[in-house]
Chain A
Amino acid sequence: MPESFDSMLAELADAAGGSVALPDLAAVRRRAGQRTVRRRMTASAIAFALLCVTGVAGAAIDGRLGRPGGVNTASAPSGSSAGATGATGATGASGSATPSPKATTSSAAGQQPGSSFVGVWETNPVQGGYLLVFPDGVVGLSEVGGASLCYSRVSDALTASQVAAADAAAHSTSTAYTSTSVPSVAFAGSAASPTPSSYTFTLPFGEVACDNYGAASGLMLAKMKGESALTLTLVSPSRASVTGDDASYSRVLAISSTATPATGLKQFIGDWTTINSDGTVTQSLRIEKDGSVVYTNSGGTSSPVADFGEIDSYYSVGARVLTGCSKAGTTPYCGVLLLQPGATASELTVYSGSGPATFTRGG
């Protein structure tokens, strides 16, 4: 090459930059405005769902009390691929985006009537993607090359009680939401909607941004045509070169809030590793007595990654770990892990960005 690499690279970038037309500033502001509108539309949809839930609940109470005008209650919870969860789980302690820094028990701030979307969800086995939705609205989403699951929340403004209400609304589909029309879902990119003909029911309930600055996707409960089970669908936005796409998840594990188990943190303390057939360690986990966690993964990525976090709450399936961000951003956390006690005290199943993996005690 006759020229230096730096100048060649600069010429290439200049050529790319010079070949694009500078978009009108008004278009940029309009795009920003559309983002705001979409968020408000999402909030409106949630508010509408709450109203419907309130109405249905009121009618149900009236019916039970034998008041005139009372109507039948909403239909029974729809089955998911793994079955509906218990109806008595309490939500997380707070609707705030900042969980307690120390391990705490999720309080009974609200009830999960049917836990339609709370749980561990998986795409088809070939794709192997996972989506974890916790009772307090925290979401963990697997991504290629990620260590922990990407941290997000179903909505910045969604409180635990709103999550519960939206969940209840999903079970009221036969009365309130049976429709072939598809409500709009919040998108960060160009507006697009899921294919109406694919669904008999949708309930958008939030926007999932997978990291501090990452692209957001609309998250909704849906029923595919011809199927009875609810699916959790992540609708990615259409962009200039990439058309929008839907990823549907089926629930493989239910999650409900619970009191701190008697064994508490103790069962998790120690060093845990995954051992490959050749004896090498791909993933490791160190859990200290104060609940702090160090997770490393040297497999499946271009370079080893390490996440630092702490156990922040306990659920029916185990403990949740929230990991910090490598730099300050718009969210307090960047990663999520789910620690599920194994069949024996020396085994631990860890849901990370790579999916579930069995760890054994010992370094």
Chain B
Amino acid sequence: MPDELDFDEFYTASFRRIVGQIYAMTGNLAEAEDSVQEAYARAWQRWKEVRGYGDPEAWIRTVAYRLSVSAWRKSVNRRTAHRRAATSPELPGLTPDHLVLVSALRRISAEQRRAIVLYHLVGLTLAEIAEETGNPVGTVKSHLSRGRKALAPLVSEFAEVGAGGPRRSGAELAGEW
């Protein structure tokens, strides 16, 4: 019973947050929702093990992302053009700025988008992103840097960053970039 209560609490507290994060990474809300739900189902099957991890939320996020990307890859592989065009409906109530952001994120690579979301939205450090994505820190830096440069023409804030200006607090950036 403690296991169930534990899982219930974790699920209730984190489901929507992770859906938002996966949506930001993939740009497809329906896929994000389905992947996250599937990830929770897998977590429930092995909750004792997952609970023992330092950060179960990171496990869910990783599983959900890979599920999402895996399905996306299949769609890319097998149904190219028309499947690509079939984007998910936009979220209601988004401001024009949000729409610009969505559009900009769709133009960078999946790996860059994932790194940017983990860094800017989830708030992970470079080392933590490297751990979660399984990439070396240098690769994470590269994804972040290239992603921000690619976003620079589309997101005004990154125009400075793309040119080499600071993005976060100086102390944090000095330690990581």
* A residues with CB within 8 A of B: 1-6, 8-20, 22-23, 25, 27-29, 31-32, 35-36, 127, 129, 143-145, 188-189, 210-215, 236, 239-242, 245, 247, 302-303, 325-327
Contact = CB atoms under 8 A, between A and B. Distances in A.
A6 B135 CA distance: 23
A17 B98 contact: no
A313 to B, nearest CB: 26
Contacts of A27: 37
Contacts, number: 168
Contacts of B16: 17-18, 20, 22
Contact of B94 (A15, A144, A214): A15
A19 B24 CA distance: 14
B74 interface: yes
Interface in B99-152: 100-102, 109-112, 117, 120-121, 131, 134-135, 139, 142-143
Given A22-B12, A215-B71, A14 B88 contact: no
A8 to B, nearest CB: 5
B8 A25 contact: yes
Nearest to A150: B70
B56 interface: no
A213 B50 CA distance: 13
Contacts of A189: 34, 38
23 contacts: A1-B155, A8-B98, A9-B120, A11-B98, A12-B23, A12-B24, A17-B15, A19-B29, A20-B16, A22-B15, A23-B15, A25-B11, A188-B38, A189-B34, A210-B70, A211-B66, A213-B67, A215-B38, A236-B74, A240-B34, A241-B88, A245-B74, A302-B110
Contacts of A215: 38, 66-67, 70-71, 74
